[in-house]
């Protein structure tokens, strides 16, 4: 698996036929056959792009590819060989990304401006039309619970659509506190074909043995490579309060959270506190570039295995950003704390660690004590 090349986001959809449910929306479904039966073609024309690099990568861990494509005056062309319906992320230089579905023999067009919210239009293919319909339906919704409710409704109404798998992952699995019962129920509402999907099978195996990490749980030993190719292990942080953060160069929110830690590191670096950042990147150059751009100086680690990275699976990371604050005994003291709450917690823990100060006795005090004796 070796190619990934463009970045984009599918958020805008022309007014759709409303009030008919999600069932069979084929609007904007311009599907044409290519010369090569297994070739997927994406044609893009994006405003405000000059000669920029666009990235395209698999939306789930079962499609481990990362392609780069150069846009010339905002125009780009991308092809890939795919065997089945494949979800892809298209990532732009401004970190805006769009989801689309590739399929053999399918031609898709992408037009718009990434600098304007909801201005990207993707046409081509039934699955892309359905996803655009979902985005149009939720365009004005900001409440996370309401978004999840619409996703729930969509999944139940579209048991045969691969879009349902994407929405399950996005709104129910990759959440700070996934609801296993809800996830199992939604999987049960899917058709047999979707339940045979490799991602769904893997998810069901995970759910059968899943025990969420919680405060005071002990974290088993781990090992990962840092930016210099050296091994990083749990034994490197003895007698240290350690914040393990998870991020990726393509996830702007996790990068923003990582930059916030610069001040925290400086504040507590002399108080037995350290940070280890683990990236889910699969491209070394993109990872190193993000580290340099964000000016982070603590140890950075990445095995380039994405969501399959050992420590990512062991610590049950399903969303970005994510973090775990450990005490010197590798017991979890907090999960997903940020900003002032994280600063306060680190301060409390490191203060407890400080040895008690003994009263210093001046020479005059000592002479008085001797005379008293």
Domain boundaries, the chain: 1-140, 141-210, 223-353
Confidence of residue 111 (pLDDT cuts 50, 70, 90): very high
Sequence-distant (6+) residues with CB within 8 A of 108 are 40, 41, 42, 43, 100, 102, 122, 123, 124, 125, 128
Strongest mean pLDDT among 83-87, 300-304, 355-359: 300-304
More confident of the two residues 29 and 54? 54
Confidence of residue 245 (pLDDT cuts 50, 70, 90): very high
Average pLDDT, the chain: 84
On the question of pLDDT at 20 being above 50, the answer is: no
Residues of the chain with pLDDT > 90: what percent? 59
Strongest mean pLDDT among 2-11, 73-82, 359-368: 73-82
Report pTM.
Answer: 0.70
pLDDT of residue 202: 87
Strongest mean pLDDT among 8-12, 32-36, 172-176: 172-176
**At which residue do the structure tokens 């409710």 appear?**
149
Edge-to-edge strand ranges of the sheet holding 273-279: 299-301, 273-279, 241-247, 322-326, 332-335
pLDDT of residue 42: 97
On the question of pLDDT at 23 being above 60, the answer is: no
On the question of pLDDT at 34 being above 50, the answer is: no
CB of 171 closer than 8 Å to CB of 147: yes
Q: Which CA distances in Å does 123 have to 88, 131, 232, 302?
A: 15, 11, 46, 36
CA 98, 168, 222, 310 torsion-angle sign: negative
Arithmetic mean of pLDDT, 241-253: 94
CA nearest neighbour of 144 among 169, 118, 171 = 171
Confidence of residue 36 (pLDDT cuts 50, 70, 90): low
Confidence of residue 360 (pLDDT cuts 50, 70, 90): low
Confidence of residue 40 (pLDDT cuts 50, 70, 90): very high
Arithmetic mean of pLDDT, 190-207: 91
Q: What is the CATH number of domain 223-353?
A: 3.40.30.10
């Amino acid at each position: 698996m070796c190619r990934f090349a463009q970045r984009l986001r599918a958020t805008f959809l022309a007014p759709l036929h409303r009030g008919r449910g999600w069932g069979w929306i084929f609007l904007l479904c311009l599907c044409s056959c290519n010369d090569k039966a297994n070739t997927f073609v994406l044609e893009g024309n994006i405003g405000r792009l000059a000669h920029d690099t666009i990235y395209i990568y698999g939306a789930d861990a079962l499609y481990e590819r990362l392609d780069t494509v150069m846009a010339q005056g905002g125009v780009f062309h991308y092809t890939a060989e795919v065997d089945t319906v494949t979800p892809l992320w298209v990532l732009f230089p401004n970190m805006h990304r769009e989801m689309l579905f590739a399929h053999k023999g399918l031609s898709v067009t992408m037009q718009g401006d990434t600098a304007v919210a909801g201005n990207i239009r993707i046409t081509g293919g039934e699955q892309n039309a359905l996803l655009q319909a979902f985005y149009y339906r939720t365009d004005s919704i900001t409440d996370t619970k309401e978004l999840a409710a619409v996703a729930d409704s969509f999944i139940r109404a579209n048991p045969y659509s691969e879009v349902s798998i994407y929405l399950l992952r996005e709104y129910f699995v990759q959440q700070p506190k996934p609801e296993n019962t809800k996830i199992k129920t939604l999987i049960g509402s899917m058709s047999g074909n979707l339940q045979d999907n490799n991602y769904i099978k893997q998810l069901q195996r995970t759910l059968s043995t899943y025990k969420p990490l919680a405060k005071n749980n002990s974290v088993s030993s781990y090992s990962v490579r840092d930016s210099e190719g050296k091994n990083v292990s749990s034994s490197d942080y003895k007698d240290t309060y350690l914040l393990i953060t998870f991020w990726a160069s393509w996830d702007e929110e996790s990068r923003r959270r990582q930059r916030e830690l610069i001040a925290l590191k400086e504040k507590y670096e002399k108080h037995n506190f350290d940070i280890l950042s683990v990236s889910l990147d699969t491209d070394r150059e993109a990872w190193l570039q993000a580290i340099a751009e964000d000016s982070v100086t603590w140890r950075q680690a990445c095995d380039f295995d994405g969501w399959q990275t050992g420590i990512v699976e062991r610590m049950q990371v399903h969303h970005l950003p994510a973090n775990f604050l450990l005490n010197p005994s590798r017991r979890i003291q907090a999960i997903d704390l940020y900003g002032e709450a994280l600063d306060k917690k680190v301060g409390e823990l490191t203060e407890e660690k400080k040895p008690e100060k003994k009263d210093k006795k001046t020479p005059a005090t000592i002479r008085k004590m001797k005379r008293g004796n």
